[in-house]
Each structure stands twice: as C-alpha cells, then as structure tokens.
Amino acid sequence: MFGFFENEQAKKIKGHLCNLAALAKADGNVDDRELNFIITVGKKNGVSASEVRKLVAGQTNCLADLPGTDSERFDQIFDLVDMMLADGIVDETEMDFCIMMAEKLGFRHAIVGVLVRKISQGVKDAVPRERIKEESLSFLNYNDLPMR
C-alpha cells in the first residue's frame, strides 16, 4: 500500500500504525495481542498483515503526518490507549507514552493525562467507543480547552 507517492490518507494511516508499533515496543516486548491489534487496525484501513508486520519490525520507514481534525486525533489516541490495555498489563512506560503521544497529536498538556485516563476507564468498563468519543470531545469543548 505504501509507495513512493503516498497520498495524505495513506501517510496518516502509516503514521498511526507506526505510533501503535512504538507503543507496543514501549515496554520492551511486542505481545501477540498487541501485534494482532495493530494488524486489525491496519486491515480496517486497507493495509495488509505483512505490511503491518514490516512496520512493527522497523523494516519500513515511519514518518508520520498529524491528523487534521479533532475526531481523527481522538481516534488515534483511542487506538493507542486501547492497545495499551490489550495485553492486560498497563505498564507505566506505556501510560507515559500514550500521554506523550496525546500531546504530539495536538491535545493540550493540561488535559492529556485526564483524557488518556478517561479513555482507559471507558475501555475497561466496556463503554462503546463512540460514547467515549462524544463524552471526551464534549469534555474538551465544555472546558474550553481547544486543540493546539
């Protein structure tokens, strides 16, 4: 999927998969559940399992474009948090990585910890993704804490 002349959407997908791969590696071990999660996200976005494995293994260059909308930013941080929880162990390094990535995605420093924990708790409580998204984006707008 990733060729010499990648379109913007392909770059965003690749960047997101690279972020997920970096999180999977944050605790020093890529668990099978983490790898399968990344492959699932890749497949949903038209990326083959073999291409995802190359990204995770570092065989493909990972330069990312940031998502352009609040909704896309949320979707990416949601997937990062969801994957952090995939192996059933929340390592402090993984939590720190999610918080750092939330900032890099454009969320304000003052709220990234709350946002990551809100998503994490929602996932643990089996709250539907769209409800977590609505509540999180509402929280961000209500508190007048716009994206950077």
Query: What is the Cα–Cα distance from 116 to 14, expressed in whole angstroms?
Result: 22
Number of domains composing the chain: 1
Query: What is the Cα–Cα distance from 25 to 23, expressed in whole angstroms?
Result: 5
Query: What is the Cα–Cα distance from 105 to 102, expressed in whole angstroms?
Result: 5
pTM for this entry: 0.73
Asked if residue 28 belongs to a domain, the reply is yes
pLDDT tens per residue, range 65-113: 677 788 888 998 999 899 888 888 888 888 888 888 888 888 888 888 8
Asked if residue 50 belongs to a domain, the reply is yes
Query: What is the Cα–Cα distance from 69 to 88, expressed in whole angstroms?
Result: 30
Asked if residue 3 belongs to a domain, the reply is no
pLDDT band at 148 (very low <50, low <70, confident <90, very high): very low
Asked if residue 37 belongs to a domain, the reply is yes
**Which of 70-79, 113-122, 134-143 has the lowest average pLDDT?**
134-143
Query: What is the Cα–Cα distance from 26 to 62, expressed in whole angstroms?
Result: 16
CA 129 to chain centroid: 13
Q: Scanning the structure block, which residue is given the tokens 């699932």?
A: 40
pLDDT confidence of residue 15: 86
Asked if residue 147 belongs to a domain, the reply is no
Domain span at residue 48? 8-142
Of 29, 24, 59, 61, nearest in space to 39 by CA: 24
